[in-house]
Chains A and B, each alone.
Chain A
Amino acid sequence: MTKEVSLEHVWVEFGEFTAVHKANLNIAGGEFFSFLGPSGCGKTTLLRCISGFQEPTRGKVKIGGQDMRGVGPNKRPTALIFQNLALFPLRSIADNIAFPLEVRGVDKKTRRKRADELLELIALPGQGDKKVSELSGGQKQRVAIARALAVEPDILLLDEPLSALDLKLRQHMRTELRAIQKQVGLTFIYITHDQGEALTMSDRIAVMNKGKIEQIGDGKAIYDHPTTSFVASFVGENNVLEATVLSNDGKAMQVDAGLGTPFTVENHPAGGPALAPGDACHLFVRPEALRLSKDESAINQFSTNFVTEEFEGNMRHIVMNANGKDLKLSLINDGTNAIDANAPVKLDFAPEMGIALKPGELASA
């Protein structure tokens, strides 16, 4: 059984400090939903509101349509997987997994049976009698998930559970988490500051900054059509240019970024608020959207000089300088993209790949 979660105008204040600023969203049953944001953006506080460790100052948290105010964490149909996993070090693996059953008074034999089933699910069969310290990082991770699943919660909350793992394992666990979610069909609410995790696993993502939800959407929408400067600069790499809007006909606009001819940028229906002529704006162009001009008449063309190059094997990450402004450029290493380091190089980008947004706070690199 899965239940939806809705946050209705949730505020959390600690004295003067506002940790969560009017969060308002619905998470459907069975969805894999992520909160993405830099550390200190309030995402963990929001998660604690859902799990019941924190009462919102104002607003409501509803689970399955039921107001959760005054319901303690031990009475909510949620299970939280902590950042440090919080496995009980003095208990065996099986006792850890069966803990939620133990506190509900389930007898020993049934507990053991259920623990063995779950060990089967997380691909650690027959390891129930080991100590927690005898497991590797990834195995502990899976034990924590098994423990959370032991009493079949309706909602599984995960607080950056992969941050302590090394890169290889993290990538492996992403796939595994997604597979487990598909298998058990629960609502997963996932907290992370790692955009890669959020983009690869989630059905939908909420990007947060300073307690505010900046944008909610699926991975593609967040990456391709950010609605605020923060989202554009936080999710993925982006080049930012200060620019001024010259004209806007509703379909596309002309912006002057001080790099010679004005650029043409398409408006997107899901994009940010409309810009009027004369408005200042941030123009975002992703490194992979910039390309070497093949012909002189290309649209959105400008001249740059080579600064430095980082070679990554399949990709080449190049820094070019355009009128005193450094721009990042990512090219596929297929042998066709030679750059003359000593002569001006012409770059361009497609009008639909440029994003003009109202100037706002940028994510610090």
Chain B
Amino acid sequence: MKMKSPTALIPGLYLTLFFAYLFGPLIIMVITAFNSSTFPRVSPWECFTTDWFGKLASDDKLLSGLGNSLLIGVGVVCVAIPIGLAAAITLSQVGPKLRAALYTIFIAPILVPGVVIGLSTLIFWDRIGTLFNAPYESFFYDGTFLTIFGQVTFIAAYSMLVFLSRIQRFDTTLTEAALDMGATPTQAFVKVLLPFMAPAIGSATVLAFLASLENYNTTVFTIVSSSTFTTVLSSKVRYGLDPSISAVAVIIIAITLIGAIIYECRNRYHTKGWAHVIAERPALKIATHPGTIAAILGVLTLAAVLFIQNHDSSVCTAQILEEKRALQQKLMEEQSLNTQEQTVPAPTMPNLGPVGGDEGGASAPSPFGSNIFSPENLGTSAPDGQ
């Protein structure tokens, strides 16, 4: 067998590193969701558990945040898509000079930091609200309303970019032809331009929805006293994490994967080559139909949900708890033993232990053992604890 030259391995190595970099964190995140440790981590592995999903399902703050996020996402799509489409149509119809100027204006919100947009939205609507003497309960101060408008400013620009690339391929004579054949401008728009733009509207909708869902830096200002999924998550990070965040990640990854698999199957199913292959194989035709794939994935998801609901790891967690308790006990005993040994050979040594160290001494059952902060203990207790 011929030896491969070392340089030939470089692309493979590069790819491995690249994918490890890309997917490594995700994989670790998924693993932590099933570890019973109260902090999301892989090692030490304690117990396989699905309790974090249960914890997630009962986390009202997160769920109401998620509800808000979905509502805001839908609102953003409804407002941003028409605005983006209108901007793209305008750009496609004006002269080159005006187009350059308008393009810069339309695109500016993408370049402005999200924090600035969030803050300025808040101030702007507050001013307007003050102008109308609106009460504090009015929509001028409503987090959902403000967040929709704050996010729309830049998400409309994103969707405009999606529409622009599609509309550039539109043959304007089609609109003229429609007008010439008696269509009103509205009919020409609805029956000719809109069907042409449909694929772009689809992708812009998905893009806008996801951009809204994951937005943090604008939302954190505009949401005011309410909360969204991202703001709840970030506060969790600040005030103490537990693996229910990993459980969220698992659900999001699962939804993405299922969507991607169905989409890809649909694409492959409709290729000419595959249509040829399945022409005389009805069984294969049914088996590879995207609907079938979707059904299989649905059943798998249902099975996973049932498994998560019914899996009981309490025996294992109880055992781990017991082990931990035993370990603690042992540590404590050793600790007290150590302190006794130390006090016997050097009774005259001044005890430099800090706050309460000299008083509590051996009797106080501190979980860390007594005199842990004592300088004499630094050298001895560690090797003993091993």
Chain A positions within 8 Å of B, measured between CB atoms, are: 51-53, 72-75, 78-80, 82-84, 86, 88, 90, 99-100, 102-104, 147-148, 150-151
A151 partner, pick from B177, B179, B182, B187, beta carbons under 8 A: B182
Rounded to whole angstroms, the CA-CA distance of A151 and B180 in the bound complex is 11
Say whether A74 contacts B183, CB under 8 Å: yes
Say whether A103 contacts B181, CB under 8 Å: yes
Interface string of B236-277 (1 = CB under 8 A from A): 000000000000000000000000000000000000000000
Say whether B174 contacts A73, CB under 8 Å: no
Say whether B176 contacts A147, CB under 8 Å: no
Say whether B182 contacts A103, CB under 8 Å: yes
- Answer whether A72 and B174 are a contact pair too, CB < 8 Å, given A88-B192, A90-B196, A102-B191: no
* B137 on the A face (CB < 8 A): no
Say whether B171 contacts A78, CB under 8 Å: no
Pick from B182, B184, B192 the residue with the most CB of A within 10 Å.
B182
CB distance from A94 to the nearest CB of B (A): 15
Rounded to whole angstroms, the CA-CA distance of A39 and B141 in the bound complex is 62
* B360 on the A face (CB < 8 A): no
Rounded to whole angstroms, the CA-CA distance of A72 and B175 in the bound complex is 14
Say whether A84 contacts B173, CB under 8 Å: yes
B176 partner, pick from A86, A100, A102, A103, beta carbons under 8 A: A86
Rounded to whole angstroms, the CA-CA distance of A147 and B171 in the bound complex is 18
Say whether A74 contacts B174, CB under 8 Å: no
* B178 on the A face (CB < 8 A): yes
Rounded to whole angstroms, the CA-CA distance of A147 and B177 in the bound complex is 10
Interface string of B134-171 (1 = CB under 8 A from A): 00000000000000000000000000000000000001
| CB-defined A-B contacts under 8 Å, sample of 8 | A73-B180, A79-B181, A82-B173, A84-B171, A86-B176, A90-B195, A99-B181, A103-B181
Say whether B195 contacts A103, CB under 8 Å: no
**Chain A residue nearest to B185 in the complex (CB):** A74
A-B pairs, top 6 by smallest CB distance, nearest first, are: A86-B177, A100-B181, A103-B183, A86-B173, A80-B180, A103-B187
Say whether A103 contacts B171, CB under 8 Å: no
A73 partner, pick from B173, B179, B187, B195, beta carbons under 8 A: B179
Say whether A74 contacts B182, CB under 8 Å: yes
CB distance from B193 to the nearest CB of A (A): 11
Point out the residues of chain A lying under 8 angstroms from B171, CB to CB: 84, 86
Point out the residues of chain A lying under 8 angstroms from B176, CB to CB: 53, 73, 80, 82, 86
**Chain A residue nearest to B196 in the complex (CB):** A90
Rounded to whole angstroms, the CA-CA distance of A72 and B179 in the bound complex is 9
Chain B positions within 8 Å of A, measured between CB atoms, are: 171, 173-174, 176-184, 187, 191-192, 195-196
CB distance from A115 to the nearest CB of B (A): 13
- Answer whether A103 and B174 are a contact pair too, CB < 8 Å, given A73-B179, A90-B195: no
Point out the residues of chain B lying under 8 angstroms from A90, CB to CB: 195-196
Residue pairs across A and B with CB atoms within 8 Å: the count is 60
Say whether B181 contacts A78, CB under 8 Å: no
CB distance from B174 to the nearest CB of A (A): 5
Say whether A80 contacts B183, CB under 8 Å: no
Q: 5 new A-B pairs (CB below 8 Å) besides A83-B173, A88-B177, A100-B183? A: A84-B173, A102-B191, A103-B181, A104-B182, A148-B181
Say whether B195 contacts A82, CB under 8 Å: no
**Chain B residue nearest to A52 in the complex (CB):** B180
**Chain B residue nearest to A84 in the complex (CB):** B173
Point out the residues of chain A lying under 8 angstroms from B195, CB to CB: 90
Say whether A74 contacts B177, CB under 8 Å: no
Point out the residues of chain B lying under 8 angstroms from A82, CB to CB: 173, 176-177
- Answer whether A88 and B182 are a contact pair too, CB < 8 Å, given A103-B187, A103-B191: no
Rounded to whole angstroms, the CA-CA distance of A100 and B181 in the bound complex is 5
Say whether A100 contacts B182, CB under 8 Å: yes
CB distance from A46 to the nearest CB of B (A): 16
Rounded to whole angstroms, the CA-CA distance of A90 and B196 in the bound complex is 7
CB distance from B103 to the nearest CB of A (A): 24
Point out the residues of chain A lying under 8 angstroms from B177, CB to CB: 80, 82, 86, 88
CB distance from A54 to the nearest CB of B (A): 11
Rounded to whole angstroms, the CA-CA distance of A73 and B191 in the bound complex is 17
Rounded to whole angstroms, the CA-CA distance of A52 and B185 in the bound complex is 14
Point out the residues of chain B lying under 8 angstroms from A53, CB to CB: 176, 179-180
**Chain A residue nearest to B184 in the complex (CB):** A74
CB distance from B214 to the nearest CB of A (A): 33
Point out the residues of chain A lying under 8 angstroms from B181, CB to CB: 74, 79, 99-100, 103, 147-148, 150-151
Rounded to whole angstroms, the CA-CA distance of A84 and B192 in the bound complex is 16
Point out the residues of chain B lying under 8 angstroms from A51, CB to CB: 180
Point out the residues of chain A lying under 8 angstroms from B179, CB to CB: 53, 72-74
Point out the residues of chain B lying under 8 angstroms from A72, CB to CB: 179
A103 partner, pick from B173, B184, B196, beta carbons under 8 A: B184
Rounded to whole angstroms, the CA-CA distance of A150 and B181 in the bound complex is 9
Point out the residues of chain A lying under 8 angstroms from B184, CB to CB: 74, 103
Rounded to whole angstroms, the CA-CA distance of A82 and B172 in the bound complex is 11
CB distance from A146 to the nearest CB of B (A): 12
Rounded to whole angstroms, the CA-CA distance of A102 and B187 in the bound complex is 10
CB distance from A45 to the nearest CB of B (A): 14
Rounded to whole angstroms, the CA-CA distance of A75 and B180 in the bound complex is 8
CB distance from B288 to the nearest CB of A (A): 25
Rounded to whole angstroms, the CA-CA distance of A51 and B196 in the bound complex is 25
Point out the residues of chain B lying under 8 angstroms from A103, CB to CB: 178, 181-184, 187, 191
